[in-house]
C-alpha cells in the first residue's frame, strides 16, 4: 500500500508526514519536543505517564501524543493553556510522590523529571501530606539497585525485559499508590543486558553499583565511541571525567552507555561491553623502557624509535628481513593494521604478520559475538591472515620480534612463552596493558588504549565505523598508528608517502585509494 | 439463598424480574415452564443473525453497565470478515459501589442471561462466551455454573444447538476482587491471565479484544434484555422506555429508605418516584439530603434536584449520570465529609496504579480528606480537592479517572459550605 502524505499542523507549523506516524513522531520531525516519560521508541506505547497529552482541534479530550496516529488535516497544539495545565498537573502528581533527593541522586543533571519540571513546572509545592515511604535500596540484579521512592512507574524496565530480552524478570506488583516494580520472588534480573535498565530509567530509580554515588553527571564529558569488546561494534557513549585541575588522579572514565545505531546495536549494549570498561583502564603501561642488561632505562620516543630503526635498517638494506617477525592483534584500528601491513610486508618484505587475539567467548544470541576483538573483519579485508600464532612458528629463525598488544600472554602459558622468547635476540613490545610479557622483552613501548585514540574499526558485518579519542593518552603512551609512522620515518623508507599520513582520517582516505573495501 | 426474601416489588409490567417471586426460577425446569428458551428457539430457528442485530438496534437497548452505549451498534462493530475467532465477554464484575442488580439477575434468573448470551453469540457469530464474574460472588457463580450445566444438558449450549448447526460454549471466570477489572479492557487482560490494567484504545475490543480477537463485551443486564426483544419485538421494548433509550432499568435503591431493594421500572421514571413511591420514602425522622443516582462514580444530586427522569440523557443534562442505576440515598444526618471520605478511600484503594493522575491523584485526595476528617483541615483544602480532581478528570488512561474525580468534584462544589465548616478557620 502506498503511504499517502498526511498534512497536519502542529503549533501552527505545517508538517507532512507518512500515514501511521504518531503525533509525537510528527512533532519531532517538525523540530518540536513533546515531553514523554513512559514512551520509548523501542517499545509499544503504553500511555501511562500522561505527560504527552496534546490538544487536537475538534476533540473534547486531550489525546496522547505517543499513541495517537495523525490524520490528514489534524490541527494539534502542544502548548495551549489546557495542554500546559494538564502537563503541569501530571508533573505535580509525580513530584508529590517523588522523594526530591536530587542532591544525592545519580540521575540528577540528566533526569527527565528534573528537566520537565524546569521547562513545564516551576510551581510551588502544594503537597502537604505525608509522602509514601518505600524501600530505597533493593538489589534487583548483580549490579542494579532499585529505589522505589524515585520510581515513577513508567514501566520502561518491565517492558524492556518483556519486549527486548524476553526474560521478564521484572513486573509491577501491588496496586494504586502502592504499585511497585519488583522481581518475581527475589529471582534477580539475570541477563546480559541488565545495564540498559539504567539508561532507560528516566529518573534515578534504577542505578548501577558501578556508577552509584561515584560522581555527578555534569562533570562528565560524553563522547561517542565504539565498543571494542566484541566484533559487533556497538555504538556507545563514553562518559569521561576530565579530572579536577588541582586533584591528581581524578580523570577517569565513569561509565559506558548505549548509543543508538539501528543498523548495529539498536539502542542497547550488553553488560559484557558496558561493565568491561574498567578492565580497559587497569594495568596500563605508561613508560617507554629499554631493559638493557637487566636494568630498566626510561627512554624518549625519539631515542627508542631510532634505536629500533637502527636494528631494522641494515636488514632492510640487505633485503634480508626473513628473521623479523611481527605479532599484531585485531584490537588495532583499520589505519594501524594498514600501516603495519604497508611497512612490514610491502616495504620490509615480510611474508606475513602473525596475530594474537583475545580468546573467543560464547555468543549470547543477541548482540555479543564470539569474536572478542573489534576489527577482525578490517584485517581480513586488507588481506591479512588471522590464523592464531603458534609459538613454534614464531620462534623459527626469528631474530627480531615485534609484538603489538598483550594477548600473547593470554594464549600461552608463561614458561613456554619464556622458553621461546629467550631464544630471540631482540624483542619489542608495543602494548597498552601490562600482561607479564614485559619481563621477556627488551623494549617496551606504551601504546594508547583504544579509547585514547582516533581511527576506525570494521565490525563483523563490514561496517567501517570511525571514532575519536575520548580521553588523552595514558602517561607517555602513543597510539600505534603514530608509533608506526614515526618508525617508518626513522627507517627512511618511502618518506614521501608516510610523511603525508599525518592523521588517521588521511590514512583511511589513502586506504580507500588502495583497497576498494575501504572506499 | 439468603436473598430470596422480598427483594422486589411488582409495579407495572416486568422484563427481567417478572418471575422473581418463584423460589426455583433458577432451575431450568421452572424456567421452561414459564416460557423460557422460547426466545432462543425463535432466534435460532426463525431469525437471521443480521435480523437479530437489527431488532436489537431498533429496540434502543443501551448498555446497562454504566456507559450506556447502544448494544446493537456495539455488536455491529465486530468485523464480519475476520478469520479470527470472535468472543463474547459478559461483564458480571459488578463492582460499582451501590450496585447489586446483576447479582439478582444471576441469582434468581440465570437462564435469562444464558438466553441473552446464546442469542447475542448467534447474531455476532460467536462460539465461545466468557462470563467474568466478580470474585466476591462465589455462590452466584456456582448458581450460574449450575444453570449453564442444565442448559447444556437440554441442548441449549454445546454443539449443534437446537439442531441448527450453531455451537456455543460458555465459561465462567471468577475475578479476584479488583474494581478496575469491571473496566472492559482490564477485564480482558484479567481474563487472559494478566494483571488487570486497562488497555489503550484504539484498538477497540470489537476489533482487537480477548486474545487479540474481535470481542463483544456486554453487561449482564444488557444481555438479559435480549430475549424479550426477540420475543416481543423492538417496538414493544422501545415503548417501555424512551425514544432512544428503550426498556426498563433495575434501580438498586440503598440508604435510609423504608424499602431498600431493586425496582425494575421503565427507563425515564423520575428519581423522586423511585425514592418516594417505590422505596417508600425515607425512614421516619430522616430527611433527604442528597442522592447519588447511578453508582458511586455518578456526581451527586442535592435534595432539590430529584425531579428528574432516570435515563442516560436526562442525567447527563444535569451533569450527573445514570451509570449502573444504583440509587444511593443520603439523609441529613450524614455528614458530607463522611460521604467524601468513603468515596475518596474507595477510589484510592481501587486505582490500578497504571497511570499517573489516577495513581497519585486519588491517593493525594484521600490523604487531604483523611486529614480534614481528623479535624486538621485547613483553609483552601476544599479548593485544593477541586483542583486535584480536575487534574485527574479527562487525563487518565481509562474512564476510572472520571469515576474517581466526578464524585469528588460534585461533592466539593455542591457542599462547599458544609465541607468548609469542618475546616479550622483562617488561624488554622
In tens, the pLDDT along A250-296 reads: 999 999 999 999 999 999 999 999 999 888 889 998 899 999 887 89
- Other residues' Cβ atoms within 10 Å of the Cβ of residue B408: 26
Residue A72 has pLDDT above 90, yes or no: yes
Residues B129, B47: contact at Cβ < 8 Å?
Answer: no
Residue B9 has pLDDT above 60, yes or no: no
Q: B186, B203, B359, B384: best mutation site toward chain A, by most A Cβ within 10 Å?
A: B359
Nearest CA in chain B to A126: B384
Residue B10 has pLDDT above 50, yes or no: no
- Strand segments (E) across A107-179: 138-139, 144-146, 170-173
Chain A contact for B362 (CB, 8 A cutoff): yes
- Other residues' Cβ atoms within 10 Å of the Cβ of residue B3: 13
Q: Single out the residue of A373, A366, A358 nearest to residue A191, CA to CA.
A: A366
Regarding predicted confidence, which is higher, A151 or B66? A151
**pLDDT value of position A387:** 79
Asked if the Cβ–Cβ distance from A48 to B352 is below 8 Å, we say no
Same domain? For B167 and B274 the reply is: no
Q: Is residue B364 part of a domain?
A: yes
**Order of all β-strands in the sheet with A138-139:** A138-139, A144-146, A206-208
Specify the CATH architecture of the domain A97-208.
2-Layer Sandwich (3.30)
Please state, in angstroms and rounded to a whole number, the distance separating the CA atoms of residues A151 and A204: 7
Pick from A32-41, A342-351, B14-23, B158-167: least confident = B14-23
**pLDDT value of position B162:** 96
Chain A contact for B178 (CB, 8 A cutoff): yes
Nearest CA in chain A to B349: A176
Q: Single out the residue of A134, A117, A116 nearest to residue A179, CA to CA.
A: A134
Please state, in angstroms and rounded to a whole number, the distance separating the CA atoms of residues B49 and B43: 8
Provide the domain limits for residue B290. Answer: 248-331
- Tell me the pLDDT tens digit for each residue of A415-450: 999 999 999 999 999 999 999 999 999 999 999 999
Please state, in angstroms and rounded to a whole number, the distance separating the CA atoms of residues A279 and A231: 18
Helix (H) or strand (E) holding A235: strand A235-241
**pLDDT value of position B427:** 41
**Order of all β-strands in the sheet with A252-258:** A221-226, A235-241, A252-258
CATH topology of domain A289-518: Rossmann fold (3.40.50)
**pLDDT value of position A4:** 66
> What is the domain class of A5-94 according to CATH?
alpha beta
Put residue B285 in one of left, alpha, beta given phi > 0 → left and psi -120 to 50 → alpha.
left
- pLDDT above 90 covers what percent of chain A? 89
Residues B263, B251: contact at Cβ < 8 Å?
Answer: yes
Asked if the Cβ–Cβ distance from A48 to B356 is below 8 Å, we say yes
Instruction: Give A8 to chain B, closest Cα distance, Å.
Output: 20
Asked if the Cβ–Cβ distance from B357 to A93 is below 8 Å, we say yes
Domain boundaries, given as residue ranges, for chain A: 5-94, 97-208, 289-518
Chain A contact for B391 (CB, 8 A cutoff): yes
Same domain? For B379 and B315 the reply is: no
Residue A1 has pLDDT above 60, yes or no: no
Nearest CA in chain A to B402: A61
**pLDDT value of position B25:** 94
Q: A35, A43, A48, A155: best mutation site toward chain B, by most B Cβ within 10 Å?
A: A48
B220, B240, B260 — which closes off a domain? Answer: B240
Q: Single out the residue of B162, B190, B66, B80 nearest to residue B124, CA to CA.
A: B80
Please give the distance of CA B388 from its chain centroid, rounded to a whole number.
Answer: 27
In sequence order, the 6+-apart residues with CB closer than 8 A to the CB of B18 are none
Q: Is residue B3 part of a domain?
A: no
Same domain? For B66 and B185 the reply is: yes
CATH classification of the domain holding B367 = 1.20.1440.230
Which triple of cell numbers denotes residue A228? 571494542
Same domain? For B260 and B146 the reply is: no
Q: How far is CA A53 from CA A41, A56, B166, in A?
A: 17, 10, 46
**Chain A residues within 8 A of B362 when measuring between CB atoms:** 176-177
Pick from A78-92, A132-146, A448-462, A485-499: least confident = A485-499
Which triple of cell numbers denotes residue A1? 500500500
Which triple of cell numbers denotes residue A306? 631510532
SS3 B160: strand
Which triple of cell numbers denotes residue A117? 519540571
Chain A contact for B235 (CB, 8 A cutoff): no
Residues A170, A161: contact at Cβ < 8 Å?
Answer: yes
The backbone torsions φ and ψ at residue B347, rounded to the nearest 5 degrees and listed phi first, read -75, -30
**pLDDT value of position A389:** 74
**pLDDT value of position B3:** 38
What does the DSSP assignment read for B22-56? STTTTSHHHHHHTTTTHHHHHHHHH--HHHHHHHH
Q: Is residue B1 part of a domain?
A: no
Please state, in angstroms and rounded to a whole number, the distance separating the CA atoms of residues A478 and A285: 11
In sequence order, the 6+-apart residues with CB closer than 8 A to the CB of B341 are B369, B370, B373
Put residue B375 in one of left, alpha, beta given phi > 0 → left and psi -120 to 50 → alpha.
left
CATH classification of the domain holding B169 = 3.40.50.11540
Nearest CA in chain B to A66: B200
**Order of all β-strands in the sheet with B326-331:** B261-266, B248-254, B326-331, B288-292, B301-302
Same domain? For B286 and B209 the reply is: no
Same domain? For B107 and B222 the reply is: yes
A350: DSSP letter: -
- Tell me the pLDDT tens digit for each residue of B38-55: 999 999 999 999 999 999
Whole-number mean pLDDT of chain A? 94
B212, B240, B268 — which closes off a domain? Answer: B240
DSSP strand pairing (A5-10 vs A75-77): parallel
Q: Is residue B50 part of a domain?
A: yes
Asked if the Cβ–Cβ distance from A153 to B367 is below 8 Å, we say no
Residue B4 has pLDDT above 70, yes or no: no
The b/e string for A429-461 (b: 16+ C-beta within 10 A; e otherwise) is bbbbbbbebbebbbbbbbbbbbbbbbbbbbbbe
Confidence of residue A249 (pLDDT cuts 50, 70, 90): confident
Residues B299, B224: contact at Cβ < 8 Å?
Answer: no
Q: Is residue B46 part of a domain?
A: yes
The b/e string for B121-144 (b: 16+ C-beta within 10 A; e otherwise) is bbbbebebbbbbbbbbbeebbebb
Q: B180, B395, B399, B400: best mutation site toward chain A, by most A Cβ within 10 Å?
A: B395
Residues A22, A40: contact at Cβ < 8 Å?
Answer: no
**pLDDT value of position A335:** 98
Nearest CA in chain B to A68: B202
Q: Single out the residue of B324, B347, B349 nearest to residue B401, CA to CA.
A: B347
Whole-number mean pLDDT of chain B? 94
Same domain? For B259 and B172 the reply is: no
Note the pTM of the prediction, 2 decimals: 0.94
Same domain? For B149 and B273 the reply is: no
Q: Is residue B163 part of a domain?
A: yes
The backbone torsions φ and ψ at residue A191, rounded to the nearest 5 degrees and listed phi first, read -155, 170
Asked if the Cβ–Cβ distance from B355 to A129 is below 8 Å, we say no
Confidence of residue B2 (pLDDT cuts 50, 70, 90): very low
Q: Is residue B280 part of a domain?
A: yes
- Tell me the pLDDT tens digit for each residue of B287-319: 999 999 999 999 999 999 999 999 999 999 999
Please state, in angstroms and rounded to a whole number, the distance separating the CA atoms of residues A489 and A492: 5
**pLDDT value of position B321:** 95
Which triple of cell numbers denotes residue A294? 637487566
In sequence order, the 6+-apart residues with CB closer than 8 A to the CB of B417 are none
**pLDDT value of position B12:** 64
Longest dimension (CA), chain A: 89
A358: DSSP letter: P
Which triple of cell numbers denotes residue A238? 563514553
- Adjacent-strand bridge partners of B39: none
Q: Is residue B18 part of a domain?
A: no
Q: Single out the residue of A373, A375, A318 nearest to residue A349, CA to CA.
A: A318
How high is the ipTM of this complex? 0.94
- pLDDT above 90 covers what percent of chain B? 92
Residues A185, A170: contact at Cβ < 8 Å?
Answer: no
Q: Give me the half-sphere count of Cα atoms (radius 13 Å) on the Cβ side of residue B188.
A: 22
**pLDDT value of position B14:** 87
Residue A356 has pLDDT above 70, yes or no: yes
Please give the distance of CA B202 from its chain centroid, rounded to a whole number.
Answer: 23
Same domain? For B327 and B340 the reply is: no
- Adjacent-strand bridge partners of B243: none
B316, B331, B346 — which closes off a domain? Answer: B331
CATH classification of the domain holding B263 = 3.10.20.600
Q: Which residue has the cell 593494521?
A: A337
Please state, in angstroms and rounded to a whole number, the distance separating the CA atoms of residues B45 and B48: 8
User: What mean pLDDT do residues A140-162 have?
Assistant: 98
Same domain? For B61 and B176 the reply is: yes
Which triple of cell numbers denotes residue A459? 565490525
Please state, in angstroms and rounded to a whole number, the distance separating the CA atoms of residues A235 and A237: 7
Number of domains in chain B: 3
User: What mean pLDDT do residues A380-401 have?
Assistant: 87
**pLDDT value of position B8:** 45
Please state, in angstroms and rounded to a whole number, the distance separating the CA atoms of residues A182 and A135: 11
Amino acid at each position: 500500500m502506498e503511504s499517502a502524505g498526511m498534512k497536519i499542523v502542529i503549533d501552527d507549523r505545517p508538517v507532512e508526514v507518512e500515514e501511521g506516524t504518531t503525533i509525537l513522531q510528527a512533532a519531532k520531525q517538525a523540530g518540536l519536543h513533546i515531553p514523554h516519560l513512559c514512551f520509548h521508541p523501542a517499545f509499544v506505547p503504553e500511555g501511562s505517564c500522561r505527560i504527552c497529552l496534546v490538544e487536537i482541534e475538534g476533540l473534547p479530550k486531550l489525546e496522547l501524543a505517543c499513541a495517537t496516529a495523525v490524520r490528514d488535516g489534524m490541527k494539534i497544539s502542544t502548548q495551549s493553556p489546557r495542554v500546559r495545565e494538564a502537563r503541569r498537573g501530571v508533573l505535580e502528581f509525580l513530584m508529590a510522590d517523588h522523594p526530591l533527593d536530587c542532591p544525592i541522586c545519580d540521575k540528577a543533571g540528566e533526569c527527565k523529571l528534573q528537566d520537565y519540571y524546569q521547562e513545564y513546572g516551576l510551581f510551588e509545592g502544594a503537597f502537604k501530606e505525608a509522602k509514601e515511604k518505600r524501600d530505597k535500596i533493593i538489589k534487583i540484579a548483580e549490579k542494579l539497585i532499585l529505589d522505589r521512592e524515585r520510581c515513577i512507574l513508567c514501566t520502561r524496565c518491565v517492558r524492556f525485559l518483556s519486549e527486548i530480552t524476553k526474560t521478564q524478570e521484572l513486573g509491577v506488583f501491588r496496586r494504586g499508590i502502592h504499585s511497585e516494580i519488583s522481581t518475581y520472588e527475589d529471582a534477580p534480573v539475570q541477563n546480559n543486558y541488565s545495564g540498559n535498565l539504567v539508561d532507560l530509567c528516566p529518573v534515578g530509580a534504577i542505578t548501577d553499583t558501578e556508577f552509584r554515588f561515584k560522581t555527578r553527571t555534569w562533570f562528565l564529558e560524553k563522547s561517542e565511541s565504539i565498543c571494542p569488546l566484541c566484533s559487533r561494534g556497538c555504538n556507545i557513549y563514553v562518559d569521561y571525567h576530565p579530572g579536577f585541575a588541582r586533584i591528581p588522579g581524578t580523570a577517569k572514565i565513569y561509565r559506558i552507555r548505549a548509543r543508538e545505531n539501528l543498523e548495529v546495536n539498536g539502542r542497547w549494549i550488553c553488560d559484557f561491553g558496558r561493565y568491561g570498561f574498567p578492565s580497559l583502564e587497569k594495568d596500563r603501561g605508561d613508560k617507554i623502557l629499554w631493559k638493557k642488561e637487566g636494568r630498566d632505562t626510561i627512554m624518549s620516543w625519539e631515542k627508542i624509535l631510532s634505536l629500533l630503526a637502527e636494528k631494522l635498517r641494515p636488514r632492510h638494506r640487505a633485503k634480508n628481513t626473513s628473521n623479523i617477525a611481527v605479532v599484531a592483534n585485531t584490537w588495532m584500528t583499520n589505519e594501524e593494521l594498514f600501516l603495519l601491513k604497508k611497512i612490514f610486508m610491502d616495504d620490509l618484505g615480510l611474508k606475513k604478520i602473525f596475530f594474537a587475539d583475545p580468546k573467543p567467548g560464547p555468543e549470547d544470541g543477541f548482540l555479543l559475538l564470539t569474536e572478542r576483538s573489534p576489527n577482525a573483519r578490517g584485517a581480513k579485508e586488507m588481506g591479512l591472515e588471522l590464523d592464531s600464532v603458534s609459538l613454534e612458528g614464531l620462534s623459527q629463525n626469528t631474530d627480531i620480534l615485534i609484538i603489538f598488544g598483550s594477548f600473547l600472554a593470554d594464549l600461552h602459558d608463561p614458561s613456554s612463552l619464556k622458553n621461546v622468547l629467550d631464544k630471540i635476540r631482540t624483542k619489542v613490545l608495543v602494548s597498552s596493558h601490562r600482561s607479564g610479557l614485559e619481563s621477556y622483552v627488551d623494549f617496551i613501548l606504551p601504546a594508547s588504549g583504544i579509547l585514547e585514540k582516533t581511527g576506525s574499526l570494521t565490525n563483523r558485518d563490514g561496517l567501517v565505523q570511525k571514532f575519536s579519542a575520548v580521553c588523552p593518552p595514558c602517561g607517555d603512551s602513543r597510539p600505534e598508528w603514530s608509533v608506526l609512522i614515526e618508525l617508518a620515518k626513522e627507517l627512511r623508507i618511502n618518506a614521501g608517502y608516510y610523511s603525508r599520513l599525518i592523521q588517521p582520517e588521511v590514512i583511511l582516505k589513502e586506504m580507500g585509494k588502495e583497497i576498494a573495501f575501504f572506499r | 439463598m439468603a436473598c430470596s426474601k422480598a427483594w422486589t416489588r411488582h409495579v407495572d409490567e416486568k422484563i427481567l424480574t417478572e418471575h422473581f417471586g418463584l423460589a426455583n426460577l433458577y432451575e431450568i425446569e421452572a424456567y421452561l415452564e414459564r416460557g423460557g428458551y422460547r426466545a432462543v428457539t425463535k432466534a435460532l430457528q426463525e431469525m437471521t443473525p443480521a435480523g437479530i442485530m437489527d431488532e436489537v438496534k431498533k429496540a434502543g437497548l443501551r448498555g446497562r453497565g454504566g456507559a450506556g452505549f447502544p448494544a446493537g451498534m456495539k455488536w455491529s462493530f465486530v468485523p464480519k470478515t475476520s478469520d479470527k475467532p470472535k468472543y463474547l465477554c459478559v461483564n458480571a464484575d459488578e463492582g460499582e459501589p451501590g450496585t447489586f442488580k446483576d447479582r439478582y439477575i444471576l441469582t434468581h434468573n440465570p437462564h435469562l442471561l444464558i438466553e441473552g448470551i446464546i442469542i447475542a453469540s448467534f447474531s455476532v457469530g460467536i462460539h465461545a462466551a466468557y462470563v467474568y464474574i466478580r470474585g466476591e460472588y462465589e455462590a452466584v457463580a456456582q448458581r450460574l455454573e449450575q444453570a449453564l450445566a442444565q442448559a447444556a444438558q437440554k441442548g441449549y449450549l454445546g454443539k449443534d444447538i437446537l439442531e441448527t448447526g450453531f455451537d456455543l460454549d460458555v465459561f465462567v471466570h471468577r475475578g479476584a476482587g479488583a474494581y478496575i477489572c469491571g473496566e472492559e479492557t482490564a477485564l480482558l487482560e484479567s481474563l487472559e491471565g494478566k494483571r488487570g490494567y486497562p488497555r489503550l484504545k484504539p484498538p477497540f475490543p470489537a476489533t482487537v479484544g480477548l486474545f487479540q480477537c474481535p470481542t463483544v463485551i456486554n453487561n449482564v443486564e444488557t444481555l438479559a434484555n435480549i430475549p424479550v426483544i426477540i420475543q416481543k419485538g423492538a417496538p414493544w421494548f422501545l415503548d417501555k422506555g424512551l425514544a432512544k433509550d428503550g426498556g426498563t432499568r433495575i434501580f438498586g435503591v440503598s440508604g435510609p429508605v423504608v424499602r431498600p431493594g431493586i425496582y425494575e421500572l421503565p427507563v425515564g421514571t423520575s428519581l423522586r418516584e423511585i425514592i418516594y413511591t417505590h422505596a417508600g420514602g425515607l425512614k421516619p425522622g430522616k430527611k433527604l439530603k442528597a442522592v447519588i443516582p447511578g453508582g458511586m462514580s455518578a456526581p451527586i444530586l442535592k435534595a432539590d434536584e430529584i425531579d428528574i427522569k432516570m435515563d442516560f440523557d436526562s442525567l447527563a443534562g444535569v451533569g450527573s449520570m445514570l451509570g449502573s442505576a444504583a440509587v444511593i440515598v443520603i439523609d441529613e444526618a450524614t455528614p458530607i465529609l463522611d460521604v467524601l471520605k468513603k468515596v475518596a478511600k474507595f477510589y484510592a484503594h481501587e486505582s490500578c496504579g497504571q497511570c499517573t493522575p489516577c495513581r497519585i491523584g486519588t491517593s493525594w485526595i484521600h490523604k487531604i480528606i483523611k486529614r480534614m476528617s481528623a479535624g486538621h483541615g485547613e483553609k483552601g483544602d476544599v479548593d485544593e480537592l477541586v483542583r486535584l480532581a480536575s487534574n485527574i478528570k479527562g487525563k487518565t488512561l481509562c474512564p476510572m479517572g472520571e469515576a474517581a474525580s466526578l464524585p469528588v468534584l460534585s461533592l466539593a462544589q455542591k457542599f462547599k459550605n458544609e465541607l468548609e465548616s469542618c475546616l479550622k478557620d483562617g488561624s488554622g
